[in-house]
Structure 1
Amino acid sequence: MNTNNTYTYEQIARAIEHLTAHYQEQPSLRELAEKANLSEFHFQRLFTEWAGVSPKKFAQYLTLEHAKNRLRNGAPLADAAHDAGLSGTGRLHDLFVSIEGVTPGQFKQSGSGLELTYGVFDSPFGYYVLGTIGGKIALLHFLNEGDVAEIVLTSAWPEATLVQDLAVLQPVANQIFPTADVAANVADKATYRLPLLLRGSAFQLKVWEALLKIPEGQLASYDQIAEAIGQPTASRAVGTAIGSNPVGYLIPCHRVIKKTGLFGGYRWGSDRKQAMLGWEAARTDM
């Protein structure tokens, strides 16, 4: 990955945080550029390269009314056109994501006897730690300041043996967040399959599978997810399951918001959630 991605994201995130907090005041380009510690010219160029649209256009994707429209116009999850949440016009190639739960014995043993291969990679939304077991993705966790990859991994799989191997995982990371040169080499190839191996209760697995049916650029409410899994009164439990999602971005919990249209919280930070939603909306509107 481009080693400048995270630095770029951190600059953009500061501007997005200010933009969403003061949207009604319509902050100027100069004001946003100052938050990113850039000149107006360089900020406009950097933001547009990252988001694909201008800061002004991006701001429209973060308004309450836009979110409400997305909720109203989204296809019912049960009838979603794509089983994989990452298929969409904004993607350079499609990814098919499937979920497999660990066996009851493995669940109980917290990964004892399993080898967890991991590495830290860059992305448009900052650094993240990627972990796989037997070639299946077991964890994708965005790193905030102060996070330690090994602590994150052992919290999720306390008994697994950790093996760091960037070379083995780089091809997987390239599929999740492809750079332009990587995408050019895979654009004409068949859909990629990214299997996930997850530790979770039957209820959690059902919720996470429902999240995969939210198309890129669309949103769903907690109530809609509860309806989709056949438990319409379990929206609170759905929220808890979404909050414990171990595979960020690929299981798109960032696409779930409150039925009022408010974005709500996010395991890896509300600013990152807003950045993801605006980034995806820009690509699906192209």
Structure 2
Amino acid sequence: MEELASQANLSPWHFYRLFKQTVGVTPKQYATTLRNQILRTGLSSDASVTNVTCEAGFGSIVRAYGSTPGNLGMTPTAYRNGEEGLDIKIAVAHCFLGYVLVGATDKGISAIEFGDDPGVMRRNFEE
């Protein structure tokens, strides 16, 4: 964050405040969400699970499905395989960004998505 603040010619504290005010989340929350999106996208490719987790910025496969909110909520391999029979509960709620869909397993949150149509969001998630 200090490097970004420096490039923007702002103090770290001012950069943090301005970033959160503009984006709606802290720089760390943004980076974590981005890392999780990179992981999910990578798991849709043919690259090895180990390479995908490292390229997404996780130190190990274990960290990619840890208890941190926003992670997969299952092992990366199970996520890649679509884990048949896995019980994923979903909820959709209205928020200031439109609608938010949250999917969770007994191990943690497996998906967070934003959209404008809750019906479309549910259908897309269930596919």
TM over 0.5: no
TM-score (norm 2): 0.45
Larger radius of gyration: 1
Higher relative contact order (CA 8 A, sep 6+): 1
TM-score (norm 1): 0.23
